[in-house]
Amino acid sequence: MDMHAPLIDPFARPINYLRVSVTDRCDFRCVYCMAEHMQFLPKAELLTLEELDRLCTTFVGLGVRKLRITGGEPLVRRGIMGFFRQMSRHLGKGLDELTLTTNGSQLGKYAAELYECGVRRVNVSLDTLDTAKFAEITRWGRLAQVLDGIKAAKAAGLQVKINAVALKGVNDVELFDLVKWCSDEGHDLTFIEVMPMGDLGNEDRLDQYWPLSDLRDQLTERFTLLDLAERTGGPARYVKLAETGQKIGFITPMTHNFCESCNRVRVTCTGELFMCLGQEDNADLRAPLRAYSDDTALREEIRNAISRKPKGHDFDYSRQKIEGQMTRHMSHTGG
Ligand code: SAM
Ligand code: SF4
């Protein structure tokens, strides 16, 4: 087989979207994502920025057209702007989009530089516009800093999409405020169903589970929802609100089967390649990265892994028991 042939999985899905977690650390401690006192990985376990460069470059060589940098909080990794600058060399030469998912806390510092590196869109996670609730959810975060970061991103020319985890008893009462704020500010808005990731011990995720079907029903009380055909290959579905023209997304990993069009894989900050967010099977890409200065073995390992990409995942809340519960945290796989 041609060493550089694009990645196609056993279900004929082309794999052209890579999400890479560049750190397990974060300046926040969101309750659904991390414990307050986290034991982070020793630095030697993390891929170096050079290794991350080789890894991403290899994937671009194998047909990846969209690269999303995530974490942990990607913008707290030291030297990360150098990495973005390096990755920008692939834009227009295989790579169509370089982007990131961030909690927004460092955007005030880095937004302009991200734009210079060819980033045009960022996803910012923001669940509430209420200062006290924000501090409660993120434990260590401050709302004002994130709002300033979002302003800076906008001023730098970045398109901002807001991702909000739907949390019953937390931001359900704010649904229309969030929608209005995003409309006023010109941000797209996507809601994410809270997922049973990790075992944080202190809170029962099921208590906070707010099905997006309910959220959608509430929206229809005030707006006309027009389904959009747009598909990203991921778990998001979009509607347009006829009254405001704004786009709202729903990421429903539990209640919808989106796997048939899956075009993505994830790499953790230690170089594990996960072929599916909901399955444990993974491939160690750090070993070939560290064992050889040449990328042949790395490419082979990637191809092998893609040939094992499963058809779909096993989450299921419907039986009030979390089937297929994942023991790893979102901060590990990067969401
Ligand atoms: N720190 C960055 C951020 O917060 O955007 C990037 C990493 S974070 C793990 C990526 C996304 O995962 C965020 O939008 C976050 O809200 C979401 N997330 C984390 N834990 C989750 C969970 N248990 N269920 C659903 N989404 C979760
Ligand atoms: Fe940090 Fe993002 Fe996880 Fe919150 S969701 S703790 S910001 S990695």
Reported as a single tens digit per residue, the pLDDT across 254-285 is 654 667 788 999 999 999 999 987 778 999 99
Instruction: Tell me the pLDDT tens digit for each residue of 56-111.
Output: 999 999 999 999 999 999 999 999 999 999 999 999 999 999 999 999 999 999 99
Asked whether 95 and 50 are in contact (CB, 8 A), the reply is no
Distance 81 CA to ligand 1 centre (A): 21
Ligand 2 pocket test, candidate residues 25, 101, 103, 136, most atoms within 8 A of CB = 103
The domain locations on the chain are: 17-333
With a cut of 80, say whether residue 22 has pLDDT above it.
yes
pLDDT of residue 317: 40
- Looking at residue 65, its pLDDT comes to 98
Flag the least confident range among 132-141, 174-183, 227-236.
227-236
In whole angstroms, what is the distance from residue 194 CA to residue 297 CA?
37
Identify the residue whose C-alpha is closest to ligand 1 atom 5: 102
- Please determine, looking at this structure, whether the domain spanning 17-333 carries the CATH number 3.40.50.80: no
What average pLDDT does range 37-44 have in this prediction?
A: 95
Mean of the per-residue pLDDT values of the chain: 90
The CA radius of gyration of the chain, in Å to the nearest whole number, is 19
Q: State the pTM of this model.
A: 0.92
Ligand located closest to 22 CA: 1
Q: Which ligand is nearest to the CA of 28?
A: 2
In this prediction, residue 323 has a pLDDT band, given cuts at 50, 70 and 90, of very low
**pLDDT(331) > 70:** no
| Per-residue DSSP letter, 318 | T
Residue 316 pLDDT greater than 70, yes or no: no
What confidence score (pLDDT) does residue 205 get? Answer: 57
How far does the centroid of ligand 1 lie from the alpha carbon of residue 96, in Å?
Answer: 24
pLDDT of amino acid 59: 98
The two three-digit tokens of residue 76, written as one number:
């707290």
| Most informative mutation of 32, 105, 125 for ligand 1 (most atoms within 8 A of CB) | 125
pLDDT at position 213: 92
pLDDT tens digits for 112-156?
999 999 999 999 999 999 999 999 999 999 999 999 999 999 999
The mean-pLDDT minimum among 19-23, 93-97, 244-248, 273-277 falls in 273-277
Residue 198 has pLDDT above 90, yes or no: no
Ligand 2 within 6 A of 72 CB?
Answer: yes
Q: What is the mean pLDDT of residues 210-231?
A: 93
Q: Are 177 and 184 in contact (CB under 8 A)?
A: no
Give distance in angstroms: CA of 289 to centre of ligand 1.
27
Q: Determine the pLDDT at residue 102.
A: 98
106 lines ligand 2 (CB under 6 A): no
Residue for token digits 């069009």? Answer: 261
Q: Report the pLDDT averaged over residues 4-28.
A: 94
Looking at all shown ligands, the one closest to residue 34's CA atom is 2
Average pLDDT of the residues in 229-252? 89
Q: How does DSSP assign 103-130, residue by residue?
A: -STTHHHHHHHHHHTT--EEEEE---S-
Q: Is 29 in the pocket of ligand 2 (CB under 6 A)?
A: yes
Helix, strand, coil share (%) of the chain residues, nearest 5: 35, 20, 45
**Euclidean distance between CA atoms 290 and 288, whole angstroms:** 5
Q: What pLDDT shows up at residue 133?
A: 97
Q: Using a 6 Å cutoff on CB, does residue 73 contact ligand 2?
A: yes
User: What does the alpha-carbon distance between residue 317 and residue 166 come to, in Å, rounded to a whole number?
Assistant: 15
Per the CB < 8 A criterion, the answer to whether 115 and 121 are in contact is: no
Share of the chain above pLDDT 70, in %: 88
74 CA to centre of ligand 2 in angstroms: 10
Q: How far does Cα 293 stand from its chain's mean position?
A: 30
- Cα separation, 209 vs 63, in Å, equals 37
The residue that leads in pLDDT, 182 or 253, is 182
Around ligand 1, the residues with Cβ closer than 6 Å are: 26, 32-33, 70-71, 73, 101-103, 125, 163, 165, 192, 194-195, 197, 330-331, 334-335
90 Cα: distance to centroid of ligand 1 (angstroms): 27
Contact 174, 166 (CB under 8 A): no
